[in-house]
Structure 1
Amino acid sequence: MTDNTLLSAPWRHGMPMHSVAWHADTGTAVTLNELHARIAAWQTTLDGLAAPGQRWLLHHRDPFDFAAALIALWERGDSAVLPADDRPETLTALDAQTAGRLGDVADGHLPDHGGAKPRWGSLVAGRVAVSLYTSGSSGEPKRIDKTFAQLDAELATHAELWPLEGRLTISQVSHQHIYGLLFAILRPLCEGAPLAGATCRYPETLANWLMRLADARQGDSQVQAQVPPGAVLISAPPPLEHLPTELDWRAAPSVLARVYSSGAALSQAASEHAYGVLGVAVSEIYGSSETGGIAWRQQQRGECWTPLPGIEVRDDDHGCLWLRSPYLPSPGIWERQADRIALEGDGFRLLGRVDRIIKVGGKRLSLTGMDRALAAHPEVLQARTLALPRHDTRLGAIVQLRAEHLPVDHASRREMIAALRSKLLGAFEPTVIPRYWRFVESWPTNAQGKLSAELMARLFRDLDDRRQPRWLGVERLGDRQCRVTLEVPERLTYLPGHFDSRPVVPGVVMVQWACELAREHLELVGEFQRLERVKFARLLLPGERVTLTLAITPVAQGARLDFSLDGRHGAYASGKALFGHSADEREAVHVE
């Protein structure tokens, strides 16, 4: 395989015993001859299903079989539709657009290893090679067609910047998406380098494969001739962020030539962690399914992104990125993107999105689509999901429920979360399902009638301070009165140790919450003096939902705070707190 363009179909040529895949766990190679046999088997299966020129839904977890099926389609004159996942709702929605399913979702018509030879067809630059689906701004899956010419343009850039030179491609990402398709499947196929025989799903597996590859390189000369000269790792933020330091990574620096990451930007801490563990700087790729690659960076050199060769970028008055790229259907036209940037030297810094498409655990997700899916539940009035950057960009969900369905304790809260998760799992992968839930009876809004960023942050503030209750909204009852809805977090700092037999909220904590929330919502000022008529009627347990009613009355010495904490079982606590004038107030009174 000497020509590394996709249109030259390099898999047709080469030595029959050339290695196209390598199983690191066993040290065995898969040859070009075996790839041809598998392509032929897939074509035989396809011939029995439909005439050429079809669109087929292709999903296969095995990278080698995926590659063989994809080539079989192309050489037959077909194209592939790549679903983002294999969830029933995802596949059913695409069935009407395709001739059938192939791969590990093929409903039983998998090919066997026949003795036929593959038939070679004609690959045309403008022909659609694959169709991918990603989230549009409306939340509906958006189809993106990629021609052979578009894929070839991007593959040529990668080969120029980072030639594989026969190294083994180890992938930790799905090849159902454009990044994994290009880097983990098409690059090794076009550059004549072996791909790993399986997706590397666990860090223990990665460490083991690198060690085995290093050991194989030390074998006799005959064995060494069949062993890849090194490896590249195709990865993403989640696996790189959580590389365990206790594993044996001694082989990584000598075996790995390059580590790639895409899907979301790595934090600087994660980049340094991966570099420290693997001994290789991470090359991050920034782009999208629609645009292909846009820029790259290594954070050890700086935080700015460098446009890929042939890519032109500029900004506008709103700071939005405009792009001109050979990977787009109209390469000469400037197209506006949903990212904000700040140009800096020959590159740029990313400043965030202007729409509601985000990456969660490296998975692209429409928050609008997630909102709509939650709102489809019969007990939900409306919902809003948001990413929480301080918590691994996991999702939080604000869900307004009918009053009769609001959870009132730990058990009913878990039951409601399980019901909503079950509703979402038919259409979304588990890694993107919201982790943090806030159930409200009234939709929280500011004075302008909007759910502001400040309100959303307030709803999840307890995640950053384990001493705080879950705040679920405030209702004004007058200038000096309000009612605050709270839940007791199961991880509240104060729960353990009060009673040996069970976790409960200490009474002094309830009083503290009343005072702090009065300062926040009723602008209570002054120094705490004493408590009066305090009663604790029953135990407040983890997960319980309560209402805290607050009222301030001016008195000669300062202010009196009346508070009561009530829930479905009745009163939990009540009392009065006296506050004296602050030092500034006392000074003002003295001057007068």
Structure 2
Amino acid sequence: MTLLQTIWQRGGERVVAFGPDGEVTLAELRRGSLQLARAMARLAGPDRPGMRWALCFDDSLLFAQALLACALGGHRAILPGHQRLAGLQALQSQFDGLLTDGELPGTALTAAQLRLPLLAADDEREADGVALPPERLDLTLFSSGSTGEPKAIPKAWPQLEAELRVQMALWGERLAGTRVLASVSHQHIYGLLFRILLPLGLGRPFDRRSIDYPEQLALQTAPWCLIASPAFLSRLDPAIAAAGCRLIVSSGGPLQPGDAQQARQLFGQLPVEIFGSSETGGIGWRQRHQVQTPWTTLPGVEVRVGPEQGLLLRSPFLPTAEWLACADRIALHEEGFELLGRQDRVVKLEEKRISLDEVEARLQALAEVEAAAVLPLQQGQRQILGAVLVLSELGAARWAELGPGRFLLALRQQLRPWLEPVALPRSVRRVEQMPVNAQGKRPWPQLKELFDEPLG
């Protein structure tokens, strides 16, 4: 029996979600999924029994309902990663129908369209338990497309279930008796697994709404866990008082050590960081007790070092048992592995290979710098490095005292023992908070635009 069948056949009185209108039971989720599956079948007609349905939802309960409806009907769920009309139009060839809780785009899309929640149907009384439990759910995710066109990533249910069972074994005990809150979207692999499938697998209720502001955590009255991004954890207010936290998970980008420690001070839990990608699923995890805490591979996952320190991966979460070359660079240690940055974050300056991630790490190790983003810039015929910085209190005082130019010279002097001269940043911009996009990733085109304007 697959995990999807197990979830479906549990007692209907079990609470699966909660929101402003109260709690929702598994029986109610099943009824809604079956009703939707019938509506999808009527819309598809007999000629298209297995369609590709794009799912675009704000409400996590309705999203889960749509996932199960796709599984019941043998359809493929397509997760575009966003709900912007222009983006959906660009992906029209990837799906045949659209399920959403937002406004229907109408003729702007050629696909069939259904808006949730559906109106109560006459046959709703027959909707609980009349269908065989769904065996599997196949879907297609899309990468964020930050460096180009979004990339379609097919996922078969055995891949998802393999990782889901591993994550359930790792965190199930700590999630006992909790409610699952999330600041990340369920439209991406991390949110899909941890915000939707993990709670369903463990029988823990999830919040159908997103946590948009850290202050919402202070309103919780029951034990809770938080599925978050590094960007969300960087915005925590030191004055927040929120009891009842049992687990914090962070993924989607690097979590700064100071942000991890602040979360522990506020909530009593040091965040668990998950390293992975849409293509690979989860690879490793850690709790950053020290700045250089290595990563531990997830059970069943193997890593080794390939050419140019590239990460080679073999994982039960991949479609084949072959070794996969990844874009990340690693070093192996007895306690685990260390991330050295991405291969696509290595640039060649004056015939020398420079790791932008290493330059960022050296900057962030300085007392004046809280966060840094380093990128290559064109200066006439020459390529240089620019640094976007979030300064510490000390750094802000020195910036005011020295001015931008002398401040940069002082930073360069501190970096000289560690970096080649060509790797020292030659241009700097200061921001109060590091920009990130909806997935917690750095928007490199936006950061580059900061250098188009003269330093004020």
TM-score range, shorter chain: 0.7 to 0.9
Change (3 A) 1:257 1:95: same
Render the CA deviation track for 1:122-164: whole Å, top value 9, x for unaligned.
6556xx6110011569622111011010000001101111113
Cα distance, 1:325 vs. partner?
0.2
1:261 aligns with 2:270: no
Structure 2: which amino acid aligns with 1:77?
G
Render the CA deviation track for 1:237-259: whole Å, top value 9, x for unaligned.
0111111121222x1xxx22211
Render the CA deviation track for 1:204-252: whole Å, top value 9, x for unaligned.
112112xx22xxxxxxxxxxxxxxxx32211110111111121222x1x
Residue 380 (structure 2) aligned to one of 437, 444, 466: 444
Cα distance, 1:21 vs. partner?
1.0
Residue 29 (structure 1) aligned to one of 23, 33, 44: 23
Instruction: State the alpha-carbon separation in 2 of the partners of residues 112 and 285 from structure 1.
Output: 39
Counterparts of 1:491-502 in structure 2, within 5 Å, are none
> TM-score, with normalisation over the residues of structure 1?
0.57
1:376 alignment partner in structure 2: none
Render the CA deviation track for 1:331-359: whole Å, top value 9, x for unaligned.
x21111111111111301111011159xx
1:274 aligns with 2:263: yes
1:294 alignment partner in structure 2: 283
Structure 2: which amino acid aligns with 1:240?
L
2:202 alignment partner in structure 1: 191
Counterparts of 1:387-406 in structure 2, within 5 Å, are 389=360, 392=371
1:142 alignment partner in structure 2: 151
* Secondary structure class of the residue paired with 1:248: coil
Instruction: State the alpha-carbon separation in 1 of the partners of residues 70 and 204 from structure 2.
Output: 22
Render the CA deviation track for 1:432-483: whole Å, top value 9, x for unaligned.
xxxxxxxxxx85333xxxx2xxx123x869998562369xxxxxxxxxxxxx
Counterparts of 1:456-495 in structure 2, within 5 Å, are 456-457=385-386, 465=399, 467-468=403-404
Residue 234 (structure 1) aligned to one of 209, 227, 235: 227
Structure 2: which amino acid aligns with 1:305?
W
Change (3 A) 1:275 1:460: closer
1:504 alignment partner in structure 2: none
The answer to whether the Cα contact below 8 Å between 1:154 and 1:292 also exists between their aligned partners in 2 is: yes
Instruction: State the alpha-carbon separation in 1 of the partners of residues 336 and 27 from structure 2.
Output: 45
Instruction: State the alpha-carbon separation in 2 of the partners of residues 86 and 488 from structure 1.
Output: 35
2:54 alignment partner in structure 1: 57
Cα distance, 1:191 vs. partner?
1.9
Counterparts of 1:174-189 in structure 2, within 5 Å, are 174-189=185-200
* Secondary structure class of the residue paired with 1:170: strand
Instruction: State the alpha-carbon separation in 1 of the partners of residues 75 and 92 from structure 2.
Output: 16
The answer to whether the Cα contact below 8 Å between 2:5 and 2:135 also exists between their aligned partners in 1 is: no
2:409 alignment partner in structure 1: none
1:85 aligns with 2:75: no
1:19 alignment partner in structure 2: 15
Instruction: State the alpha-carbon separation in 2 of the partners of residues 460 and 78 from structure 1.
Output: 45
Residue 160 (structure 2) aligned to one of 140, 151, 164: 151
Structure 1: which amino acid aligns with 2:143?
T
> TM-score, with normalisation over the residues of structure 2?
0.73
Structure 2: which amino acid aligns with 1:93?
A
Counterparts of 1:25-424 in structure 2, within 5 Å, are 28-51=22-45, 52-105=49-102, 106-107=104-105, 109-110=114-115, 111-114=118-121, 115-116=123-124, 117=127, 120-121=131-132, 123=134, 129-135=138-144, 139-163=148-172, 164-209=175-220, 212-213=221-222, 230-249=223-242, 251=243, 255-300=244-289, 303-330=293-320, 332-355=321-344, 389=360, 392=371
2:417 alignment partner in structure 1: none
* Secondary structure class of the residue paired with 1:263: coil
Change (3 A) 1:461 1:350: closer
The answer to whether the Cα contact below 8 Å between 1:323 and 1:337 also exists between their aligned partners in 2 is: yes
List structure 1 runs of 4+ shifted beyond 4 angstroms: 121-125, 135-138, 386-398, 459-466, 487-491, 543-546
* Secondary structure class of the residue paired with 1:140: coil
* Secondary structure class of the residue paired with 1:468: helix
Render the CA deviation track for 1:474-507: whole Å, top value 9, x for unaligned.
xxxxxxxxxxxxx99999xxxxxxxxxxxxxxxx
Cα distance, 1:396 vs. partner?
6.8
* Secondary structure class of the residue paired with 1:326: coil
The answer to whether the Cα contact below 8 Å between 1:203 and 1:244 also exists between their aligned partners in 2 is: yes
The answer to which structure, 1 or 2, has the higher relative contact order (CA under 8 A, 6+ apart) is 2
Instruction: State the alpha-carbon separation in 1 of the partners of residues 285 and 190 from structure 2.
Output: 13
Question: When the two structures are aligned, how many residues end up with a matched partner?
Answer: 372
1:10 aligns with 2:7: yes
Change (3 A) 1:286 1:544: closer
Q: Which runs of 5+ in 2 are unaligned?
A: 107-113, 348-355, 365-369, 407-426, 432-452
Instruction: State the alpha-carbon separation in 2 of the partners of residues 394 and 461 from structure 1.
Output: 7
Cα distance, 1:89 vs. partner?
2.2
Change (3 A) 1:120 1:392: farther
The answer to whether the Cα contact below 8 Å between 2:168 and 2:201 also exists between their aligned partners in 1 is: no
The answer to whether the Cα contact below 8 Å between 1:172 and 1:201 also exists between their aligned partners in 2 is: yes
Structure 1: which amino acid aligns with 2:287?
Q
Bigger helix fraction? 2
Render the CA deviation track for 1:299-351: whole Å, top value 9, x for unaligned.
12661000000000111242111110000011x21111111111111301111
Cα distance, 1:171 vs. partner?
0.9
Change (3 A) 1:112 1:393: farther
Instruction: State the alpha-carbon separation in 2 of the partners of residues 138 and 489 from structure 1.
Output: 22
* Secondary structure class of the residue paired with 2:23: strand
The answer to whether the Cα contact below 8 Å between 2:13 and 2:25 also exists between their aligned partners in 1 is: yes
Render the CA deviation track for 1:67-90: whole Å, top value 9, x for unaligned.
001101111111110011112221
The root-mean-square deviation of aligned C-alpha atoms, in Å, is 3.4
Instruction: State the alpha-carbon separation in 1 of the partners of residues 77 and 186 from structure 2.
Output: 13
Instruction: State the alpha-carbon separation in 2 of the partners of residues 323 and 261 from structure 1.
Output: 22
Change (3 A) 1:328 1:544: closer
Change (3 A) 1:31 1:338: same
* Secondary structure class of the residue paired with 1:318: helix
The answer to whether the Cα contact below 8 Å between 1:57 and 1:95 also exists between their aligned partners in 2 is: no
Instruction: State the alpha-carbon separation in 2 of the partners of residues 333 and 177 from structure 1.
Output: 25
Change (3 A) 1:345 1:490: closer
* Secondary structure class of the residue paired with 1:48: helix
Instruction: State the alpha-carbon separation in 2 of the partners of residues 461 and 173 from structure 1.
Output: 25
Instruction: State the alpha-carbon separation in 2 of the partners of residues 100 and 90 from structure 1.
Output: 15
The answer to whether the Cα contact below 8 Å between 2:178 and 2:225 also exists between their aligned partners in 1 is: yes
Q: Percent identity among equivalent residues? A: 37
